[in-house]
Structure 1
Amino acid sequence: MREHLPEGGTELSPTEIEALGARWSSCWAPGEIASRLAGVATPWCVAAGWALDLFRGTQTREHGDIEIAIPAADFPEVRDRFPGYVFDGAGGGRIWEDAAPEVLAAVHQTWLRDPATGDYLVDVFREPHDGDTWICRHNEAIRLPYRAIIHRTGDGIPYLAPELVLLFKAKHAREKDRADFDATVPLLSPAQRGTLAELIARTYPGHPWLAAL
């Protein structure tokens, strides 16, 4: 997590943050995003809850939004695939509309907005990396090649490895995160379960999920 947020932007009250859910009601499905990003050179993948559903092969619950992860330096290539839309920066309870470069350097969440409706369509995580090596935002000692962390569905939609999705979910371990953990762990291979246990132990020592792994 970056420590210093830029000035400006709009600070949201708890009520306004809760109301944002309505602006995500038109968010795209993974197939729509894959179609728009077809042929890009940068590695990208669906992240968070949708990634687990792609791994499981079916949508198991409603998703309030959809996130994709990309290397931060490659954002311009992704941005250019969405002409007519704008990207807002989000972080620390603030939103910066049509975010300037200094905002993008300080926050990792970038919300694609339809200026005609105000709806948000996809959350682009601009992730730290070293060339072709992904760096975990929650533990920079965890570094893996992109070719090892991106899986694909039968029809070619890329998604983040489920053990890494669950590592991120372990930070907050909300009710929906625990439900995702319980539904996904039985489907992991022994190697994936071992990797998840190791990464959680390194990042969140003593985490209650470790007992189930």
Structure 2
Amino acid sequence: MPRKPVPGALGPWDPAPLSEVVDRFSVAAAPWWVAGGFAIELAVGHPVRAHGDIDVLLLRRDQLAAQRALSGWDLWAADPPGTLRPWAAGEELPPGVHDVWCRPAPDQPWRIQVMLDESQGHQWVSRRDTRVRRPLGALGLTSADGVPFLAPEVQLYYKAKGPRPKDERDFDAVLPLLREPQRRWLADAITLTYGVHPWLGRLLR
């Protein structure tokens, strides 16, 4: 039976190094991107803050690539609103499930969080607002050493829902590097989905 995730009850987090994530997912026969705070750091080019986890984004249609990349690991799907349950081999997770917690074994810390996002044809579609879209080819960037990561404006769009101190720090770090088209896309996406937002004034200066 699914269990409610109680802090500490299912074990602590010990984020995998970026190099381990790259080694594992580079064999996945599907596009993937480093997401979350590490995506911001890859865009900025240096560490910004400490991290409680490390995120990898896959398209929902490619979700089983995570099982191949993490073969033998203990994988749990996060069923809304806050229930973890084992993710069975070969199981296609339904649209309401966006996150998978991953650890090498049940007695080890959680190491990687896999996030599933939506797409239609050659377009990425925001799970927050289906009106927010962009071509899949423009969803991510690649670092100088070949690591794919979510474009910072897309990552900030998700962080804008309810910015925490760490999200504000990420925004401050990457804002000076955003070009005008990136700022405009992010401002338009935030306005469409969230309405009035404190980041808009700084984006549109």
Q: What TM-score results when the alignment is normalised by the length of structure 1?
A: 0.86
Compute the RMSD of aligned alpha carbons: 2.0
Gaps of 5+ in 1: 1-7
What pairs up with 1:190-201 in 2 under 5 angstroms? Answer: 190-201=180-191
The answer as to whether partners of 1:69 and 1:127 remain within 8 angstroms in 2 is yes
Candidates 102, 105, 108, aligned match of 2:98? 108
Q: Which secondary structure state, in structure 1, belongs to the residue aligned with residue 58 of structure 2?
A: strand
2:123 matched residue in structure 1: 133
1:30, distance to aligned residue in structure 2 (A): 2.2
1:209 matched residue in structure 2: 199
Amino acid corresponding to residue 174 of structure 1 in structure 2: R
Quick one: distance in 2 between partners of 1:171 and 1:20?
28
Q: Which secondary structure state, in structure 2, belongs to the residue aligned with residue 164 of structure 1?
A: helix
What pairs up with 1:2-13 in 2 under 5 angstroms? Answer: 8-12=1-5
CA separation of 1:133/1:98 partners in 2, compared to 1, >3 Å: closer, same or farther? same
1:38 matched residue in structure 2: 26
Amino acid corresponding to residue 132 of structure 2 in structure 1: I
Amino acid corresponding to residue 147 of structure 2 in structure 1: I
2:42 matched residue in structure 1: 54
- Residues 1:156 and 2:146 are matched in the alignment: yes
1:76-122: CA deviation from partner (whole Å, max 9, x where unpaired): 12311222212101142211124577782141101112225332111
- Residues 1:176 and 2:184 are matched in the alignment: no
Higher helix share: 1
1:24 matched residue in structure 2: 13
The answer as to whether partners of 1:69 and 1:124 remain within 8 angstroms in 2 is yes
CA separation of 1:168/1:212 partners in 2, compared to 1, >3 Å: closer, same or farther? same
Q: For structure 1, which segment, 93-102 or 154-163, has the greater mean C-alpha deviation from structure 2 after superposition?
A: 93-102
Quick one: distance in 2 between partners of 1:84 and 1:41?
18
1:144 matched residue in structure 2: 134
The answer as to whether partners of 2:67 and 2:89 remain within 8 angstroms in 1 is no
CA separation of 1:103/1:83 partners in 2, compared to 1, >3 Å: closer, same or farther? closer
Q: Which secondary structure state, in structure 2, belongs to the residue aligned with residue 185 of structure 1?
A: helix
Gaps of 5+ in 2: none
Runs of 4+ in structure 1 displaced over 2 angstroms?
19-22, 97-104
Q: For this pair of structures, how many residues does the alignment match? A: 201
1:50, distance to aligned residue in structure 2 (A): 0.9
Quick one: distance in 2 between partners of 1:33 and 1:124?
11
Candidates 169, 189, 200, aligned match of 2:179? 189
Q: Which secondary structure state, in structure 2, belongs to the residue aligned with residue 120 of structure 1?
A: coil
